Structure 1
Amino acid sequence: MKPHGISIGLSRVKSTFFIHIRAFGTLHHDDYEYMIPTIESALSEVKEPHLNVLIDITELDGWTMNAAWDDFKFGMKHRREFDKVAVICSLRWQKGVAQVSNWFMPGEIQSFDNHHDALVWLESQ
């Protein structure tokens, strides 16, 4: 069985959170049961959080149906808190996922080929 999961890093500058997410393998519902409470716990400490997110999906193979639904629900619940989302991806379908996400998020979403360019964009005003 191939490894799968989500690793999360959180940092904060005043009321702006930087969330670093790396997704790999095929994500399952159990992966979201770990990720969602971790992020929501951090967000609960800030009155009006603004999120800048760096998501690396270069090693992502996809989602199970339940995991895709979990991802959608989480995104919709917190969509107004996302200021910028930088998606690091290399495959065409991964870039398509980033583009479709723009339909549901009022914040900016951009896809990037590398970590450096994504961080520069996230840190720009």
Structure 2
Amino acid sequence: MITHIEDRTLLNEAGILTFEVDGKVDKVSFINTMRKVLSEMETSEGVSLCIRVSSIQGVTLDALWEGLKFALTSLQEFLSQVNRIAWVTDKQWLAVVANVEDKLLPGIDEQVFPFEQEEDAIAWLKQG
């Protein structure tokens, strides 16, 4: 599940949206996440994402399908409006994924931070 962590101060002052991934990513949470991101992109000049991953137990097929549809319809807008993505996690494999994504998605900087450096992740996002 992906949950939006409401932090109006971070959003208003720095354009940062924060999400928590815990458990299995399903269609509803993926759609709600993308709607939130796209909605904020409409009202600002760009956003950055802080994604906290405490556990991930996979992605449902319908969430993957929604991800593919999103990529086909909104990826260009996403790439032009998202400045940085900070992954806050202790999952080492996410560092590999973020590194690959960083190279595949031009214009978006991605970096992984351990949980104890979440403040550093926010500071890095604010610089972008």
TM-score range, shorter chain: 0.7 to 0.9
Q: Which runs of 5 or more residues in structure 2 are unaligned?
A: none
| Percent of pairs with identical residues | 16
Deviation at 1:34, TM superposition (A): 2.0
State which drifts further: 26-35 or 74-83. Answer: 74-83
Is the helix fraction higher in 1 or 2?
A: 2
Q: For residues 71 and 12 of structure 1, do their structure 2 counterparts lie closer, same or farther at Cα, with a shift above 3 Å needed?
A: farther
User: Counterpart of 2:29?
Assistant: 31
User: Counterpart of 2:105?
Assistant: 104
Distance 2:24 2:63 in 1: 9
Q: For residues 7 and 60 of structure 1, do their structure 2 counterparts lie closer, same or farther at Cα, with a shift above 3 Å needed?
A: farther
Match 2:46 to one of 50, 59, 84: 50
Cα contact 2:2–2:19 (8 A) shared by 1: no
SS of 2:15's partner is strand
Distance 1:119 1:29 in 2: 27
Q: How many residues align?
A: 118
SS of 2:90's partner is coil
Cα contact 1:55–1:85 (8 A) shared by 2: yes
Distance 1:5 1:108 in 2: 21
Q: For residues 37 and 96 of structure 1, do their structure 2 counterparts lie closer, same or farther at Cα, with a shift above 3 Å needed?
A: same
Is the strand fraction higher in 1 or 2?
A: 1
- Deviation sequence 1:35-69 (CA, Å, 0-9, x none): 222332232233xx211211111222221233234
Return structure 1 stretches of 4+ with deviation > 4 angstroms: none
Amino acid at match of 1:54: C
Q: Which runs of 5 or more residues in structure 1 are unaligned?
A: none
Cα contact 1:57–1:94 (8 A) shared by 2: no
- Deviation sequence 1:12-46 (CA, Å, 0-9, x none): 23xx5211111110101111222222332232233
Question: Equivalent residues in 2 for 1:15-26 (5 A)?
Answer: 17-26=15-24
